Structure 1
Amino acid sequence: MNSLYLASQSPRRRELLTQIGVQYQMVSVDVPEQREACESPSDYVCRLALQKARAGFQALQSRRLCSSEELAKAVVLGADTLGVLGDEVFEKPLDHNHARQMLRQLSGASHQILSAVALVSGERHALRLVTTQVNFRELSDEEIDAYWASGEPCDKAGAYGIQGLGAVFVKSIEGSYSGVVGLPLTETAELLKDFCVPVWQAQD
């Protein structure tokens, strides 16, 4: 049985892994989230997920966070999520005005959430990308401002959290709910199985 390390500070991803009984340890990474010129949204989100997983594995090596025996059984998970409307990418809002702009664009429209998950172990890696369509109802400016004041949108791709107060904006989705939250669980569990990391473990 291999040991999993999560290269993410996202509380949503931690909660989702715990939800399916995956035991893991945290590893801190710093990967710049800057889209390259002419890079498609799908290429961008996949690159970030894989870079985070690779950076996590390198951190285990360089910082000597585990023994050589533990490193041989270490698997690092990296993930990234972003929203797409037309050709525009929606990441985390920079401020109130940016969040208001994004939510106005999403209002009454359908957009896509791209969620990529990558696993790295030694020289081996695997990657999955999940696309979900999210359909919003019409939003008023008063709702948008009140939502920002709640504090929830600050660290969310697309400036909303479907698992929280932002759920009232969503008419329907087509695809992976957990992918919209930040980690597509079906695909993640399949990858973990391939890397001999079990789900449904009893939590310590």
Structure 2
Amino acid sequence: MRFVLASASPARLAVLRAAGVEPSVMVSGVDEDAVMATLTGAKPSAVVTALASAKARAVAETLGLDAVVVGCDSMLWIEGELLGKPATPEAARKRWATMAGGSGELLTGHAVLRLEAGEITAESAGTQSTKVRFATPAEDELDAYVASGEPLAVAGAFTIDGRGGWFVDGIEGDHTSVIGISLPLTRRLLADIGVSVADLWRGSADTEGESR
């Protein structure tokens, strides 16, 4: 059974590879802003789950074979606001002005679909929440971090597996969720649709990643 990651995130791909799985990679092309426009008033966890589901379904529609598709989305909930990727360096700097010395809740939504001959036969979705405690970078450190471009490419304007890790004092919860794909949550969702991670390990040796 083909295992498909509906995400262009190199961090998510690295987590899966380190965990013994070599997925095919297919980017969904979902208009996230359009999806979010339909979710006004929804709980933060419902937003990230809906986005993950939209991505998984968009990729599933292009497949005509047996497969498992995993869609993901991450956002930071802090001070009553749900934050994705900052659009500009100025936005990233403003985010850090809010985050520095405080904490936020990193929400990662996952959706897994099981396909048989291209038809969805089972699905499950959920959200993992992890508390992140942020340090207070010095002004020159923040200048250099924003200039690196990394915070513009990631939810919440930080990472724990890159330069941003220097400015995270700690987390409470699942670290793989903060990177972008929660292994514990994904394992539970796969079990819901009748797939064992051991099956993915056994199949990974014969599966090559595919980018589109």
| Alignment map for 1:55-70 (pairs within 5 Å) | 55-61=58-64
Q: Name the counterpart of 1:65.
A: none
Q: Which amino acid aligns with 1:97?
A: E
* Mapped partners of 2:201, 2:18: distance in 1: 9
Deviation at 1:196, TM superposition (A): 4.3
Q: Which amino acid aligns with 2:112?
A: L
Q: Deviations over 1:143-176 (max 9, x none)?
A: 2111011222121111111101111111111001
SS in 2 for 1:9: coil
The answer to whether the 8 A contact 1:134-1:173 is kept is yes
* Mapped partners of 1:42, 1:191: distance in 2: 16
Q: Name the counterpart of 1:46.
A: 49
TM-score of the aligned structures, taking structure 2 as reference length: 0.85
* Mapped partners of 2:188, 2:40: distance in 1: 32
| C-alpha RMSD over aligned residues | 1.6
SS in 1 for 2:178: helix
The answer to whether the 8 A contact 2:187-2:196 is kept is no
Deviation at 1:103, TM superposition (A): 0.9
Q: Name the counterpart of 1:3.
A: 2
The answer to whether the 8 A contact 1:29-1:59 is kept is no
Q: Name the counterpart of 1:64.
A: none
Q: Name the counterpart of 1:93.
A: 86
Q: Which amino acid aligns with 2:21?
A: V
Q: Name the counterpart of 2:210.
A: none
Q: Name the counterpart of 2:105.
A: 112
Aligned length: 193
Q: Name the counterpart of 2:158.
A: 160
**Corresponding position: 1:132 with 2:130:** yes
* Mapped partners of 2:166, 2:27: distance in 1: 33
Partner residue of 1:191 out of 181, 189, 192? 189
SS in 2 for 1:8: coil
Q: Name the counterpart of 1:31.
A: 30
Alignment identity in percent? Answer: 35
Q: Name the counterpart of 1:170.
A: 168
The answer to whether the 8 A contact 1:20-1:199 is kept is no
Q: Deviations over 1:123-149 (max 9, x none)?
A: 311112100000112233322111011
SS in 1 for 2:94: helix
Structure 1 residue runs of 4 or more that deviate by more than 6 Å after TM superposition: none
The answer to whether the 8 A contact 2:4-2:67 is kept is yes
TM-score of the aligned structures, taking structure 1 as reference length: 0.88
SS in 2 for 1:166: helix
